[in-house]
Amino acid sequence: MEAAKRLKVLVSAYTCSPYRGSEHAVGWGFVQALAKYHDLWVITEEEKCRGDIERYQADNPKALSNVRFYFIRKQRNRKLRKLWPPSYYWYYKRWHQQAFSLAKKLHEEEGFDLAHQLTMVGFREPGYLWRLPIPFVWGPVGGMGLFPWRFLLSIGWYGAFYFAGYNLYNFIQMHFSMRPKRAALVAGSRGLLLATPENWEGARRYWGVEGQVMPEVGLPGQVAQEVQKKQAGEPLKILWSGLHVPGKALNLGLQALGCLNKDVSWELHVLGEGPKTQEWKAMAESLGLADHCHFYGWLPRDRAISVMRKGHLLLITSLRDLTSTVTVEALSLGMPIVCLDHCGFTTVVDDSNGVKVAVTTPREVIKGLAHAVEQLAQDEELRRRLAWGALKRARKFDWDRKGEIVSDLYRARIAAGTRIL
């Protein structure tokens, strides 16, 4: 059977690095996966990406030979951003305008089959590739939805102020921002990828487009062959990882651990740091949990994974997030997940690999998290079964698998024809 023709695809990936996490890992994961099927021209940001990409190319001269990278430096005003964080989008929008100017020139020279707006994932800035006279794909798209109002006062006054403003900002943009809607309409149902069910519902409600759900994260390494055994008498080793900011809400997890029965033996291993670190350490102290809690700060990836390998479960307390790479990292290591039934975790975690707690009220969430942790601490057979389920679930997020799915989507989008507004 004749192999399918390789397409010429123009990709806008503002964040794209083989050595960084979060959005950069998303960009790089999709690029390296899609390069197996198509020839790519990738426009990315210069300051944070160029050095990493050129280092990778120097170390791996035969890899990604069919990918061409183009770098545009984004103007930055860090002082202004501290005073007014949304000012970031002024300069981000300008970067996309410059990227579009380059894209038009490249299209005249190369004649692309399709354009893909890849990263960053947020819905607020769709770029301008959708204006090119070729089929367009956008996504995975995230960031739609609201922070749960009932939890505002549970994350401190700064967090409450920030997320009240965030909700207002999101409400206005979801309802009235026209460029994201136009981009979504051009992508259409066959070309719009949504990172979570919440974003799928937002696209349907506000843009009138029913796209496809695809979590933005992919498997960062190999899936373990065995699960971590918890020996008799060994404390349950609970991992928590992320930036220490109000929306990650580790305070809810600490309060839940403070509710555990005294006969439950446990340890909490906290990776990452941020503005809330000292406050959360003080909370652990005030709750009498300090002897059980180990704060590591930021660790190199290999050391962080080493800590995770010794864990028995991952606790996720985020109230506002997409999916986060640590989720699939934990699954790949055979760690069951206890999380809120919210954000991207709704899709990734199911009854085969973890426990989800309904987002109702702070009091009920704390009780639900405590019950889930206590259950897994006391029922090793259940925890072990969920651990094996985690390994099986992790394989569904393999980058090669995601690349194949998006490659098929490219062809379906091209077959649907070009739509220009």
Per DSSP, the residues of 243-286 read --SGGG-HHHHHHHHTTS-TT--EEEEEEB--TTHHHHHHHHHH
Q: Is 111 helix (H, G, I), strand (E, B) or coil?
A: coil
**Phi/psi zone of residue 324: left (φ > 0), alpha (ψ -120 to 50 degrees), beta?**
left
Position with higher pLDDT, 220 vs 113: 113
Q: What is the pLDDT of residues 278-318, one digit of tens each?
A: 999 999 999 999 999 999 999 888 899 899 999 999 999 99
Spell out the alpha helix ranges (H) of 60-130. Answer: 78-83, 88-110
The yes-or-no verdict on residue 421 having pLDDT over 70 is no
CATH 3.40.50.2000 in the chain, residue ranges: 8-142+177-216+399-416, 236-396
The class of domain 236-396 in CATH terms is alpha beta
What integer best gives the mean pLDDT of the chain?
A: 93
The class of domain 8-142+177-216+399-416 in CATH terms is alpha beta
Task: Look up tokens 């259950």; give the residue.
Answer: 375
Least confident range from 44-58, 68-82, 165-179, 253-267: namely 68-82
Q: Per the omega criterion (within 30 degrees of 0), is the bond before 140 cis? A: yes
Q: Is 181 helix (H, G, I), strand (E, B) or coil?
A: helix
Q: Round to whole Å and give the CA distance between 369 and 385.
A: 19
Q: What is the pLDDT of residues 236-287, one digit of tens each?
A: 999 999 999 999 999 999 999 999 999 999 999 999 999 999 999 999 999 9
- The residues that bridge with 270 in the sheet, in sequence order, are 240, 295
Q: Is 141 helix (H, G, I), strand (E, B) or coil?
A: strand
Element (H, E) at 41: strand 39-45
Least confident range from 63-67, 185-189, 210-214, 220-224: namely 220-224
Q: What is the pLDDT of residues 71-120, one digit of tens each?
A: 999 887 777 667 666 677 788 999 999 999 999 999 999 999 999 999 99
| CB atoms near residue 146 (< 10 Å) | 15
Q: What is the pLDDT of residues 304-357, one digit of tens each?
A: 989 999 999 999 999 998 888 889 999 999 999 999 998 888 889 999 999 999
Q: What is the pTM of this model?
A: 0.90
Task: Give percent above pLDDT 70 in the chain.
Answer: 97
pLDDT value of position 1: 43
Q: Round to whole Å and give the CA distance between 375 and 377.
A: 5
Q: What is the pLDDT of residues 118-141, one digit of tens each?
A: 999 999 999 999 999 999 999 999
**pLDDT band of 233, cuts 50, 70, 90:** confident
Contact 309, 325 (CB under 8 A): no
Task: Look up tokens 């995770």; give the residue.
Answer: 308
Contact 112, 129 (CB under 8 A): no
